[in-house]
Structure 1
Amino acid sequence: MPLLTPQTLERCELCPRRCHANRAANIAGACGSTSRLKLARAARHLWEEPPISGTNGSGTIFFSGCPLACVFCQNHEISTGNFGLTTTEHRLVEIMLELQEQGVHNINLVTATHWAHLLPHAITEARRRGLSIPIVYNTSGYELPEAIHELGNLIDVWLTDFKYADPTLGAQLSRVQDYPSVAIEALAHMMQEITHRGGIRYTNDGLMTQGIIVRHLVLPGHTDDSLHVLDHIWNTAGDVPISVMNQYTPNTRMKKLGGNLARALSTEEYELVLDYADDRGFTNMFWQEGGTVDESFTPAFDTTGIERKADS
């Protein structure tokens, strides 16, 4: 039986937590979501990796809720704060088409794991109505192989995190005991889906139209774990495009708790991880220049683009 159907919400198993909440009866799952789709923002975004944002931007759609609820999350307003507007699958399709009309390079579904049951029909319907740009699946990496397989012919680019190599760190910061093993298996299946479709593809302008980018956010005080993450990525996917990020910014909660996660990443820590990635053999790597922690890579979650504009 397919996983990605509306019936899944009756005993939800959309993410590896398999919390079995009856979301169909509007009981919130571990992700904080019921059966009512909530979106927080839909707009052009220029701060993804160059093959994703290009010159015209990526058409990001931010879904409310999250299966992980990382304690340091910069998007906590929507991941655990339940912020967003209740909308419909029909409106989701319209939003995809409206973003395409704005000239974006792709449709970027941000944290859609717990709404993945809507995607097969929504993407298919959007394609039927004229959507022609790639679909990017922007995920924490905490995904089920069954979901990846069912989305394989619909998702063009997997933009996936690999957060931790140490399960203890995953338990402390994201409240899941099995993050590394799940992320390894998920990455392997994403690679299988892309390989099945013919591998990574770019336009002449360098935009990724099919493929995968694996992201890793380096955490202050945890560079050893970052090195092990890079080992896992290499051993699972080989010389895959990676994005090593230094934009960790301590939120109010982390500042109160103190310790390494109450501060920004140092230049020395970041360069250590970049050097290791280079030594490991990664040849397609994106990195962030110094000072990015002072810039905002988090858009305003103000429900831009969610409500349909009144006809003029």
Structure 2
Amino acid sequence: MRRLRSATRCVLAQNRRHIRIQPQFLVDMYHPRYTWLTDEEAKQRYHQAEDHLHHCNLCPHKCNVDRYKETGYCMIGAKALVSNIGPHLGEESCLIGTGGSGTIFFSGCNLRCVFCQNYDISHVAQGEKLGPEELADWMIKLQDVGRCPNINLVTPEHVVPIVAQAILCARDKGLKVPIVYNTSAFDALESLDLLHNLVDIYMPDFKVWEPKTAARLLKSSAYPEHAKQSIKKMHEQVGNLKFTFDGLALTGVLVRHLVMPHYIEESKQIMRWIAENLGKDTFVHIMEQYFPHAHVGKPKRGKNKDPEDVRYAEINRPIRSSEYEEVVAEAKRVGLWRFENADEYGLYA
């Protein structure tokens, strides 16, 4: 029922675009950041992306491989592997696109989250290989044919050089809508430097707080530190989330956090970090839709295992309403107030 209510709130928000928003979070005239670049700057940025493909170091793994000749941790070469393209009504659609964002789902990833809610896309390398020009053509199609208010790039952390080149190509082809970078936050700072003034809305997840939890559930103990660094960098680039008068987000950071059973205290710590390091005006989406997926709940390996024993048993259930409300209460206690569930928590004045 809670998920149904969230979807209902989203629909209501889409049909109530006249609701007031605080003046400091309004944008009257806005042009996507990639239009701010001069032609010479755009050309230089394109070549910088090319250099990174030859010495890949744009995620924390820093494999340093030539992706034209071999692959690193992500197993993706010099072209992006795309699993799906089209308008998409996701969790934040009531903010970033009333009719659905023009979404490009990239296959593969640079984390191995055991509970991945998009396991069939992120963990399974399948889809169509597309280069920058082809991706740019799809961005134009989504803008013109799909009537999408933005281009939403989902799990692009491992294909940033290709994405950067595609945005620059699309700029030359007439792209005019904002770019949304939808990320796990396992990004290298060099990657965000390459994306500076190419991305309008950063939409990072902050998944877990403790390195030992990240090692167990994400297969990278380095995740929390990299997430903190990258989310701060994103906020430095684009600031707080801002909207049109009718409630469509145009620029800024939207931080997402998926509440999971057993790790409620880590969720609270993440809320405190956001308030202290990004500011209390940071827009936050506290997500409640966790369910066991991917490797969670599968039988443990080994000959002498108990048939009742399952992998990652501590998160082998959906969250309870009380757990979700506990995290929301902590977020409000530390001063956060801009939440995705606008009707319930007062996004609008």
TM-score range, shorter chain: 0.7 to 0.9
> d(CA) in 1 for partners of 2:153 and 2:93?
17
Structure 1 residue 23 displacement after superposition: 2.4
**For residues 70 and 85 of structure 1, what CA distance do their matches in structure 2 show?**
23
Q: 2:221 aligns with which of 177, 187, 190?
A: 177
Letter of the structure 2 residue corresponding to residue 231 of structure 1: R
RMSD, aligned α-carbons: 2.0
1:276 aligns with 2:330: yes
Aligned partner of 2:170 in structure 1 is 126
Asked whether 1:285 is paired with 2:342, we answer: no
* Cα contact 1:48–1:58 (8 A) shared by 2: no
Indicate which of 276, 279, 296 corresponds to 1:254: 296
| Structure 1 stretches of 4+ moved >4 Å | 1-4
Is the alpha carbon distance of 1:4 and 1:287 closer, same or farther for their aligned partners in structure 2, counting shifts above 3 Å?
Answer: farther
- Matching of residues 297-312 of structure 1 within 5 Å: none
In structure 1, the residue matched to 2:236 is 192
Counterpart in 2 of 1:93?
A: 136
Asked if structure 1 preserves the Cα contact closer than 8 Å seen for 2:80 and 2:162, the reply is no
Gaps of 5+ in 2: 1-43, 299-310, 344-349
**Is 2:257–2:286's contact at 8 Å kept on the other side of the alignment?**
yes
What letter is aligned with 1:166? E
* Contact kept in structure 2, 1:47 and 1:53, CA below 8 Å: no
Structure 2 Cα separation of the partners of residues 4 and 32 of structure 1: 21
**The one of 261, 277, 301 aligned to 1:236:** 277
Q: Is the 8 A contact 1:46 1:53 kept in 2?
A: no
How far residue 287 of structure 1 moved from its aligned partner, in angstroms, is 4.3
Name the structure 2 match of 1:145. 189
Measured against aligned partners, the alpha-carbon deviations of 1:85-137 in whole angstroms (never above 9, x if no partner) come to 12222110011011111111110011111111123332122122211111000
3-state SS of paired residue (1:253): coil
Contact 2:185 2:205 in 1 (8 A): yes
Tell me what 1:18 maps to.
Answer: 62
- Say whether 1:82 aligns with 2:136: no
Match of 2:90 among 31, 47, 54: 47
When structure 1 is superposed on structure 2, of 170-179 and 27-36 the one drifting more is: 27-36
* AA at the equivalent of 1:185: Q
Larger CA deviation: 106-115 vs 255-264: 255-264
Q: Give the residue type in structure 1 aligned to 2:176.
A: S
TM-score (norm 2): 0.77
Once the 2 structures are TM-superposed, how far is the Cα of residue 156 of structure 1 from its aligned partner?
Answer: 0.4
Structure 2 distance, partners of 1:228, 1:126, is 40
**Alignment TM-score, normalising by the size of structure 1:** 0.86
CA shift for structure 1 position 230 = 1.0
SS of corresponding position for 2:176: coil
**2:111 match: secondary structure:** coil
| Rounded Cα–Cα distance in structure 1 between residues aligned with 2:135 and 2:57 | 22
Deviations 1:13-57 (A, max 9, x none): 1101112334221x3321231223210001111123145443211
Following superposition, the deviation at residue 258 of structure 1 comes to 5.1
8 Å Cα contact 2:241-2:254 kept in structure 1? no
Deviations 1:162-217 (A, max 9, x none): 1111011111111112111111111111111114xxx5431111111111100000
1:32 to 71, 75, 92: 75
8 Å Cα contact 1:140-1:162 kept in structure 2? yes
SS at match of 2:136: helix
Distance 2:156 2:245 in 1: 29
Write the distance in 1 (CA, Å) between the matches of 2:51 and 2:103: 27
Q: In structure 2, do the counterparts of structure 1 residues 158 and 84 end up closer, same or farther at CA, with 3 Å as the change threshold?
A: same
* Equivalent in the alignment of 1:109: 153
Contact 1:184 1:233 in 2 (8 A): no
Structure 2 counterpart SS, 1:132? coil
Q: Distance in 1 between matches of 2:113 and 2:294?
A: 13
> Given that residues 4 and 14 in structure 1 are in contact (C-alpha distance below 8 angstroms), is that contact kept between their aligned partners in structure 2?
no
Residue identity opposite 2:216 in structure 1: Q
**Number of aligned pairs?**
285
Aligned AA for 2:128?
Answer: L
Q: Which amino acid aligns with 1:97?
A: I
The structure that has the greater radius of gyration is: 2
2: CA distance between counterparts of 1:262 and 1:174? 16
The gaps in structure 1 that reach 5 residues or longer are 290-312
Q: Which residue of 2 aligns with 1:300?
A: none
1:220 paired with 2:242, answer: no
Tell me the percent identity.
35
Alpha-carbon distance, 1:252 to partner? 4.8
